[in-house]
Chains A and B, each alone.
Chain A
Amino acid sequence: MLLEVTLSGATLGGMYALVALGLTLQYGVARIMNLSYGELLVAAAFAALWFYTGVAVSPLVGLIVVPPLAFALSFGIYRVLLQPLVRRAKTRDALEVDSILATFGLLFVIQGVMLAIFGGAYFSYSFLAVPLQIAGATVAANRLLALVLAVVIGVGLYLGLTRTRIGTAVRAVAVDPVAAELVAIDVRTASALAFALGGALVAASGVLVSMFLTFNANLGVVFTLKALVVVIMGGVGNLLGALIAGLLLGLVENYVAVFVDPGLTLAATYAIFLIVLLVRPQGILGRASR
């Protein structure tokens, strides 16, 4: 029982980590605090649902088709909607406030569109819903597949960011945009790329999540919140921190859901968040700011 709960908690945690990786790219590199982030996840989940039930295409194909679309969409959103704010902002704080406001508006637009199309009901589809035996524990195959894919995507991203020129440029912007500019890195393009990449990641997570969770049009906010909490817990811009924090959050939530009450999972998230704020506000792996 404990092993089963731990395994399914790890799946959830892997999802959170992946979702948070994308957000840490958007916030850490592009300096955009994107409150509509989770909406893209839900939109991708709906897309996967439509692929599977509408045109009978496997979510695995969806995983190949949807993220590039999300990449393009996010790139467009950054260029059209957010770059004017970047240009107008005098300080980093001003940009933060502006981006919070703009993406908060965007949240309601995207959510409104999904509500108009799908209504508020919960959806799910049954894909690979077969039980597997691992070390005596039963796990659904779709969960396991989602976890494996999340790991593959996460590792791929990590290698891409650490081993390629573009990845290095993106990380440099995260550390110090001014210095990055000085060594001839195109900060604007790097920011746009990071934002779009974040969008692709959250869309991929959305497809994966749709394979094993029920979802509805209102779920985006909760995912955004959890991603934000994970990013803060891990330390902004810290990929490894996001991974650890994501796993931790997934595990704790699942334990609470199974052993205490499923109605208290968000409370558990907040409790963890509070502890981090009180004990290590710079994040698990972050550095002190004062």
Chain B
Amino acid sequence: MSRTLLEIDGLTRRFGGLVAVDALGFTVAEHEIVGLLGPNGSGKTTVLNLLSGVLRPDAGRIAFRGHAIAGLPAHRIARLGMARTFQLVRPLASLSCHDNVRTGLAFGRRRAWGAAADAEAGRLLDRVGLGGVRGSLPGELTYIDQKRLELARALALQPDLLLLDEWLAGLNPTELDAGIELVRSLNGQGITILLVEHVMDAIRSLCHRCVVMNAGRLIAAGLPAEVLADREVVRAYLGEDDNDRGGGHA
């Protein structure tokens, strides 16, 4: 077992009366790919928002590379080496693809600028398969390519930990295979990945471990195959009255 990169403990966030994340705790080790699963509205995106600094937790601890980051502003967390994509893509609309990536390079850990940054931006766009559209505006890209662009922007931060919020959703089978390959290769390159996902094929083939949430709480953790067969997980996904059909899809 390698060193712990991310440690969450007692993480809680309320929206009015709703407890979206409820005393959640789990860890992610270096070089792992961990799947964060759960039915719709179970609080997965909220967890990522708490991690990356969009939201401030009401209670709980988040340790990332040994730093207590709960409640820190997002730019500080980003500079510590955590990057993310958004469930609904958010490209910087008036910036070209090239400039989108350059923002991550200029203000992330590398603070790269000038010719070196330009070259690196090009390399990152190539890496996600957008080599041909550097000068285009994000609005001219397909939805899938916008997702790729967002990934390249996240990679520009040179992250240790990458948070992917349903990054593989909505891809066709060929794109899905390429996407899975890309995520795997990023992991191979040393990036730890926390992945929110509904696509079961992707979870099975990518994740080393999974944690499952329901209504803000942790209900299971372990190897993907075990977790997906867990009775409580199946019940959470399929609803109380369903009989045991074995976890297979969401």
A residues near B (Cβ < 8 Å) are: 287-288, 290
Contact = CB atoms under 8 A, between A and B. Distances in A.
Nearest to A288: B56
B91 to A, nearest CB: 16
Top 5 A-B pairs, shortest CB-CB distance: A290-B56, A290-B55, A287-B16, A288-B56, A290-B54
A290 B16 CA distance: 13
Nearest to B58: A288
A287 B55 CA distance: 13
A201 B80 CA distance: 52
A288 B14 CA distance: 10
Interface residues of B, number: 4
Secondary structure dominating the interface of B: loop
Interface of B: 16, 54-56
Contacts of A290: 54-56
Contacts of A288: 56
5 contacts: A287-B16, A288-B56, A290-B54, A290-B55, A290-B56
A288 B16 CA distance: 10
Contacts of A287: 16
Contacts of B56: 288, 290
A287 B13 CA distance: 13
Nearest to B15: A287
A254 to B, nearest CB: 36
Contacts of B55: 290
A2 to B, nearest CB: 40
A289 to B, nearest CB: 9
Nearest to A287: B16
Contacts of B54: 290
A288 B55 CA distance: 10
A252 B115 CA distance: 58
B56 to A, nearest CB: 5
B47 to A, nearest CB: 15
A288 B54 CA distance: 12
A287 B18 CA distance: 13
A235 to B, nearest CB: 13
Nearest to A290: B56
